[in-house]
Amino acid sequence: MPKVFEGYTVIELADRRNQFVGKVMADSGARVIQIEPVTGSDARFTGPFVNDQRDPDRCLDYWWFNTGKESLALDITRLPGQDLLRRLLATADVFVESTKPGTLAASGMDFATLSKANPKLVYASLTDFGQDGPLVDYVMNDAAHLAFGGQMGSTGYSEPKTTPIGGQGRQAFNMASVMMLHTITAALFEREMSGLGQHLDVSIHDCCAVCTERAVSYWMWYDEPFLRQTGQHAAPTYRTSNQMQAADGRYAIVTTPRFNQNSWVKMIDWMKEKGVAGELEEPQWMDEFYRAEQVRHGTAVADGIKRLIATETAEQVFLRGQGMGLPWVDIRRPEENLQYDHYKERGFWVDVQHDEIGKPVPYPKGFFLSDELNMRPERRAPHLGEHTRSILQRDLGLSTDQIEILTTTGVAR
């Protein structure tokens, strides 16, 4: 079955901010040619590395974000490199770039110039603050975006004097990359009707600013901020912590919902079995309205649940709680899910062969399962300059002698 982006050619002049865009498009069928310096993309040196040995072809972070791509190592600070890139862009469908605004215009690779030779080109720019505005020259990293965009102000511990926390995993960059994917997809649909490409101006800061859940709208309506909550979504008032320690020393996320009668009775029976029901056995707690009011304003239910959790392992909390229809779950380390049966049965993991280490490596298949989209990584991330010669020969028609000149002079690798 064909993949959703099959037949499209994407030229990616990317860095750590937007390489996720090309990954998803490559995993979804597009041919993605990554243009990187002859010394290698900065993303190749972020680590961690296989066996802790620094090697641009063995960076695990790079492996994940660049599956399925081709690597063309090219020095585009020099005129011959710029000319080769322009020739590739003359027939491409999508150009994904993240350079400082105005950089490419100086070498004739801005949208206005490129669209004359290739009117169908979708030109997607991802920058910190967009192509214009008073902050256009400011420089940010992922943590700075989470701080300036509002996420960090709503993330962390409930104690107001504790430092806010920014999420890991390059969340600001990934939020912006996902939104860029939406805009690229919409632009390709629009091109089907108009026959024309367009320039997409995506600001990482804008993407962060619109992804703060209810914090902004609550401020607009009530002129009050949301408060950070330990292990929970930010809220206008402080709530009881829902992280509880189990008998095995691990933690579980245990909410205190407005129990329906069935789940309440089952939980009380569980507490009786463990001898920790206490006052919750008293008759008034069978009244749903009384119970809801106590959950909202009191601590007796949370205290009782905390006593219960302390008698079971975190996994038992998860299994028995879910059996009662309660959204309770043990807190896991990411690597624990690698061997979890649920993921195996759904085919979540797929093996991608890595000849450089002599074995396949499991990768997540995709973000959701869809026969129509058929998203999955088909091959490993490219080695530095792995496809340089083949692209220069097949796509641009260069001879072996011409390629030799480019590599010996350092224009290509």
Domain edges within the chain: 9-210+346-408, 243-331
- Residues 345-388: pLDDT tens digits? 998 999 999 998 999 999 998 877 777 778 999 999 999 999 99
**Is pLDDT at 143 greater than 80 in this prediction?**
yes
Q: Which single residue is written with the structure tokens 């860095």?
A: 15
Structure tokens at 77: 């600070």
**Which DSSP symbol is given to 335?**
G
Burial of 222 (0-12, 13-18, 19+ CB in 10 A): exposed
pLDDT on residue 123: 98
pLDDT on residue 297: 81
Alpha helices (runs of H) in 44-141, residue ranges in sequence order: 60-65, 79-89, 111-117
Burial of 318 (0-12, 13-18, 19+ CB in 10 A): buried
Element (H, E) at 302: helix 300-309
pLDDT on residue 98: 96
User: Which class is domain 9-210+346-408?
Assistant: alpha beta
pLDDT on residue 145: 95
Across 336-342, average pLDDT: 88
- Residues 206-260: pLDDT tens digits? 999 998 888 888 888 999 888 998 888 888 888 888 899 999 999 999 987 768 8
pLDDT on residue 185: 97
Across 98-119, average pLDDT: 96
Give 329's strand partners: 253
**Which DSSP symbol is given to 395?**
I
Residue 338 binned pLDDT confidence (cut-offs 50, 70, 90): confident
CA distance 229 to 235: 7
CA distance 152 to 208: 10
Cβ atoms 27, 68 nearer than 8 A? yes
Give 243's strand partners: 253
- Residues 26-52: pLDDT tens digits? 999 999 999 999 999 999 999 999 999
CA distance 57 to 35: 15
Q: Which amino acid is at 320?
A: R
Quick one: which of 304, 246, 228, 294 has its CA closest to 272?
304
- Residues 51-66: pLDDT tens digits? 999 999 999 999 999 9
Q: Which range has the worst mean pLDDT, 122-131, 198-207, 310-319, 337-346?
A: 337-346
Q: What is the mean pLDDT of the chain?
A: 93
Q: How far is CA 101 from the centre of its chain?
A: 24
pLDDT on residue 322: 94
Confidence (pTM): 0.92
pLDDT on residue 376: 92
pLDDT on residue 82: 97
Quick one: which of 294, 338, 332, 341 has its CA closest to 314?
332
**Is pLDDT at 89 greater than 90 in this prediction?**
yes
Cβ atoms 44, 57 nearer than 8 A? yes
**Which DSSP symbol is given to 9?**
E
Distances in whole angstroms, Cα of residue 262 to Cα of each of 50, 87, 242, 302, 306: 51, 68, 22, 18, 20
Structure tokens at 379: 């091959």
Residue 294 binned pLDDT confidence (cut-offs 50, 70, 90): confident
**Is pLDDT at 159 greater than 90 in this prediction?**
no
Cβ atoms 208, 135 nearer than 8 A? no
Those residues whose C-beta lies under 8 Å from the C-beta of residue 143, and which sit 6 or more positions away, are 152, 166, 172
pLDDT on residue 369: 77
Residue 133 binned pLDDT confidence (cut-offs 50, 70, 90): very high
- Residues 172-187: pLDDT tens digits? 999 999 999 999 999 9
